[in-house]
Amino acid sequence: MTEAATKANGSSPPPETMAWDSRSRRVVMVYVPLACFVLILLFPFYWMTITAFKPNAELYDYKRYNPFWIGSPTLDHLYMLLFETAYPRWLWTTMLVAVCATVLSLVSSTLAAYAIQRLRFRGSGYVGLAIYLAYLVPPSILFIPLATMVFQLGLFDTPFALILTYPTFLIPFCTWLLIGYFKSIPYELEECALMDGATRLQILRRITLPLAVPGLISAGIFSFTLSWNEFIYALAFIQSSENKTVPVAILTELVTGDVYQWGALMAGSLLGSLPVALFYSFFVDYYVSSLTGAVKE
């Protein structure tokens, strides 16, 4: 029965037709775009993985071997990366810098966000806006004056140079994120604690922070990810090979002239992305809930 005939007869389409139209519309409008998005998003990781386990013969001869599959898997690239380079040292330096910068940024941004949101001093709103606008300053502009300070303090070519400079772009965003999350916590809880004689530090430690765990985890994920993947500061402030971070080391140490060791490069990228992926997988629920709490106000 056509749609015109259905309207002429004054009857509605049968339930089977309505269900089919709804199902087909859902497939076209939701599942097909979602499948394309997932394919485009995951294909680089798939290519990185198969390249890390391909022998050199398969990497450079696409006429005889399928470029999208592994014919004879090998661990030569991983062995070369782990035992013939300083990759374990690079990985340890990256982890140390990311963890220390994340902890320092979380402590500073928590105190700043709580003071701006809860103490309500004059001009606190403008201070919060100014802190967020500081995040928009490109790192390529900041690293020039920061380089002068790093040299004057004698921190050049040490992990401390990165630990102390990374918070310059981590604290502004984390502060803005925690300000939005602190807004979602009822202020009446703190007022009751103040009436009972609690101090601000006691309220922050025993009431606000336990309720703000999702926001803290979200800010920690953000800080850890940016610290782990940061490139400009690590390239400018670290010179010796053993003190380099993974993003800089795999590019500068595994490329000789115009020769790219693609197997080792992809193996290093794969191993370097695993900690961040595991970190996200464990705390993804907290991350989503904290973003919801931060923007709903």
Q: What pLDDT band is residue 17 in, cutting at 50, 70 and 90?
A: low
Handedness of CA 24, 30, 33, 38 (dihedral sign): negative
Q: Which two tokens stand for residue 181?
A: 């999350």
Tens-place pLDDT, residues 35-55: 888 888 888 888 888 888 888
What one-character-per-residue DSSP string does 85-121 give? SSHHHHHHHHHHHHHHHHHHHHHHHHHHHHIIIII--
Taking alpha carbons only, the member of 175, 166, 103 closest to residue 132 is 175
Helix, strand, coil abundance in the chain, percent, nearest 5: 75, 0, 20
Tens-place pLDDT, residues 104-162: 999 999 998 888 888 777 777 777 778 878 778 887 788 788 888 888 888 898 999 99
Tens-place pLDDT, residues 158-174: 999 999 999 988 998 88
Q: How many CB atoms lie within 10 A of CB 37?
A: 10
Q: What pLDDT band is residue 15 in, cutting at 50, 70 and 90?
A: low
Dmax over CA atoms of the chain, in Å, equals 87
The CATH superfamily holding the domain 76-295 is MetI-like (1.10.3720.10)
Tens-place pLDDT, residues 195-227: 888 888 888 888 888 888 888 888 888 899 899
Q: What 3-state class would DSSP assign to 259?
A: strand
Higher-scoring residue by pLDDT: 91, 143: 91
pLDDT at 105: 93
Sequence spans of domains, the chain: 3-60, 76-295
CA 224/CA 273 separation, integer angstroms: 12
Tell me the CA distances in angstroms from 61 to 54, 78, 128, 220, 254, one per residue in order. Answer: 11, 21, 56, 44, 21
Total-model pTM: 0.79
Tens-place pLDDT, residues 256-280: 777 778 888 888 888 888 888 887 7
